Amino acid sequence: MQFSSIIGQESLKQQLIQSVANKRVPHAIMLLGQEGSGHLSLAVAFAQYLNCENRFVDENINNDSTGDSCGECSSCMKSQKLIHPDIHFTYPVVSTKGSKPKSTDFIEEWRKAFFENPYLNIQDWIESLDAENKQGNISVEECHEIIRSLNFKSFESIYKIYIIWMPEFLREAGNVLLKSLEEPAENTIFILVADNQEQILNTILSRVQLLKIPRLKDEEIIFQLEHKQGISVKEAHAITRQVDGNFNEALKLAGNSEDDNEKLYILFLRICLKGSHEGKTLIDFCEKVNTELGRENMKGLLRYGLDLMREVFVLEHIGETKARLTENELKLAQYMNQRLSFKSKEEIIKRLEESCFHLERNANPKILFMNLGIFLSHLLKRNEVVLT
Ligand SMILES: [Zn+2]
């Protein structure tokens, strides 16, 4: 993977490239960023850059270096397929292949998952292993394996690189690596890629150079969705509003149509208000959501509702949201503003946020949508919202 194929993060890329130009590459770096910021991709691109035989560096007028790996040399070809013998990957794994699983046992699955989506999160990874209910782990054995391999020279490139994805899962096993992180072998570089600083051992944090990866800018996500994923401008804006800089989430929302969410959410509100719509009751609706949607799409539906409520507020207080809403959404937003008090709208937002929170923590979807429906039904009837 080349730097040029990673969305945004220009100053980070430059910082990494500059460290090579100045011959000041830290021996242990932690790329710390929120999910979907591209930190894993940056680690992979940096590893490829370090071992590229024909690195491209462009000194500009401010003496800042920009550049990239060539993408064509034998080292790059291997790096791009994640088969470079000097670039090692460690990631959480599950015990579906024996009681002491190591990362290499899952390397085929890892390559496939990364190529499918280099912005994947830990749940996506574990789900891709058909092990949804299992806990991922980076074992002591894995750490010993790393230590053992440090004794060998690199096979064919200058640098031996260890990319450790999700060091949060090292837990106490991480202590095995402390000495190596502190006094690395020559031309050995550790790149740790983490989401959550608080879940990482302090002893590890104190031994790495921390590079904080900012969230992606909204315009970068919009551009990507529109030009690379073929999503309409309007939909790209709608998706970006919901994801707070998380490109992984944006890709998932792009996969389930906004149109479907709009239709389904309006159906939900109609049923809540009237008890049924076109013969469908709240129980039917919850059954449909539970059997047809899948957890990611359910989250998408709730986020859609949340996003729409925010637009309702914007329309009332700032009044400039029309361009972003479809005709049906605008009609609904105007009705809500006519019929619902400020407090009721706040209550809906709070309830939707709570529902998202519980859904992410594996609440039973049927019960969750039923409870939400009963709450909305009570609130909408109390306020006599008319839905056309
Ligand atoms: Zn190259």
Rounded distance from Cα 33 to ligand 1 centre (Å): 27
Domain tally, the chain: 2
> 279 and 201 in one domain?
no
Rounded distance from Cα 275 to ligand 1 centre (Å): 63
Rounded distance from Cα 87 to ligand 1 centre (Å): 14
Provide the residues around ligand 1 (an ion) whose CB is within 5 A.
52, 54, 69-70, 73, 76
Residue 379: other Cβ atoms inside 10 A? 18
Rounded distance from Cα 154 to ligand 1 centre (Å): 17
Output the domain CATH number for residue 300.
1.20.272
> 372 and 310 in one domain?
yes
pTM equals 0.70
* pLDDT class of 315 with cuts at 50, 70, 90: confident
Where are the extended beta strands (E) located within the chain?
A: 28-33, 56-59, 65-68, 87-90, 160-165, 188-194, 209-213, 276-277, 280-281
Final residue in a domain of this structure, among 152, 181, 214: 214
Angle between helices 218-227 and 247-255 (to 10 degrees): 40
Tens digit of pLDDT for each residue in 175-231? 899 988 988 888 999 999 999 999 999 999 999 999 999 999 999 999 999 888 878
Rounded distance from Cα 79 to ligand 1 centre (Å): 9
> 266 and 205 in one domain?
no
Instruction: Find the domain containing 336 and state its range.
Output: 256-383
Final residue in a domain of this structure, among 151, 181, 214: 214
10 found inside a domain: yes
> 177 and 34 in one domain?
yes
Rounded distance from Cα 46 to ligand 1 centre (Å): 12
* pLDDT class of 385 with cuts at 50, 70, 90: low
Rounded distance from Cα 235 to ligand 1 centre (Å): 37
Rounded distance from Cα 60 to ligand 1 centre (Å): 21
Say what the pLDDT of residue 161 is: 96
Q: Does residue 33 contact residue 68 with C-beta atoms inside 8 Å? A: no
> 210 and 72 in one domain?
yes
249 found inside a domain: no
Rounded distance from Cα 55 to ligand 1 centre (Å): 6
320 found inside a domain: yes
331 found inside a domain: yes
Rounded distance from Cα 112 to ligand 1 centre (Å): 22
* pLDDT greater than 80 at residue 294: no
Tens digit of pLDDT for each residue in 98-119? 778 899 999 999 999 999 999 9
* pLDDT greater than 80 at residue 86: yes
Q: Which residues contact 384 (CB under 8 A, 6 or more apart)?
A: 339
Output the domain CATH number for residue 115.
3.40.50.300
239 found inside a domain: no
235 found inside a domain: no
Rounded distance from Cα 76 to ligand 1 centre (Å): 4
Rounded distance from Cα 67 to ligand 1 centre (Å): 12
Final residue in a domain of this structure, among 214, 248, 271: 214
Rounded distance from Cα 160 to ligand 1 centre (Å): 16
379 found inside a domain: yes
> 197 and 267 in one domain?
no
Rounded distance from Cα 17 to ligand 1 centre (Å): 14
Mean pLDDT across the chain, nearest whole number?
Answer: 88
Rounded distance from Cα 149 to ligand 1 centre (Å): 24
> 271 and 143 in one domain?
no
Rounded distance from Cα 77 to ligand 1 centre (Å): 7
> 281 and 203 in one domain?
no
From residue 161, give the alpha-carbon distance in Å to each of 86, 109, 232, 239: 6, 20, 40, 36
> 165 and 299 in one domain?
no
Tens digit of pLDDT for each residue in 6-46? 999 999 999 999 899 888 899 999 999 999 999 999 999 99
208 found inside a domain: yes
Rounded distance from Cα 156 to ligand 1 centre (Å): 13
> 264 and 206 in one domain?
no
Say what the pLDDT of residue 388 is: 44
Rounded distance from Cα 115 to ligand 1 centre (Å): 19
Rounded to an integer, the average pLDDT of 262-286 is: 88
* pLDDT class of 57 with cuts at 50, 70, 90: confident
> 62 and 203 in one domain?
yes
Residue 312: other Cβ atoms inside 10 A? 23
> 101 and 41 in one domain?
yes
